[in-house]
Structure 1
């Protein structure tokens, strides 16, 4: 999927959320799943794609990311629950 995306990933227990932006969602989630990029997501085992939004322009995706990152956790959970109430890993629907 080569398109600007905002995405949210979590760990197996759904305790930590990570919000990011990418222009290639499948590739980026693959990188998270295999810990190919060291950092926050690798440290906290964040590899389950639970939410994403697609954008025509990467700048709009970045703007949305900055806004959502400022939200309270409850608001983020509400956003995720609207699309994915079971918090299933959406990555496997993309590949």
Structure 2
């Protein structure tokens, strides 16, 4: 299957109001799968961040990286509010990005 380059900024979570991770990728379905399956060593594997709870697609990788930096510089409260604004049930959005 051929993937298309699609820059995205995203948030993974361990549970509702649990540990959260902000990341950036050019292939969101693949990256979210890696987090879910724990195949990538690092923060998300150690903290069980397996749920994709928020994402934003961008026209360029530069824009996605700028958004990631903006989110990482913000408070946890702002990140939680961002998730709640579009995903108040904290549903795992993995199926939506893989459809």
Alignment of 1:68-87 (within 5 A): 68-87=71-90
Is this contact kept in 2: 1:2–1:25, CA < 8 A? no
Shift of 1:12: 3.0
CA RMSD of aligned residues (A): 1.2
Query: Aligned pair count?
Result: 95
Q: Stretches of 4+ moved more than 6 A in 1?
A: none
Q: Distance in 2 between the 1:13 and 1:94 partners?
A: 19
**What residue ranges of structure 1 are gaps of 5+ in the alignment?**
none
Task: Give CA deviations for 1:61-88 in whole Å, capped at 9, x if unaligned.
Answer: 0011001101111111111111101110
Q: Does 1:31 align with 2:27?
A: no
Q: Distance in 1 between the 2:35 and 2:82 partners?
A: 21
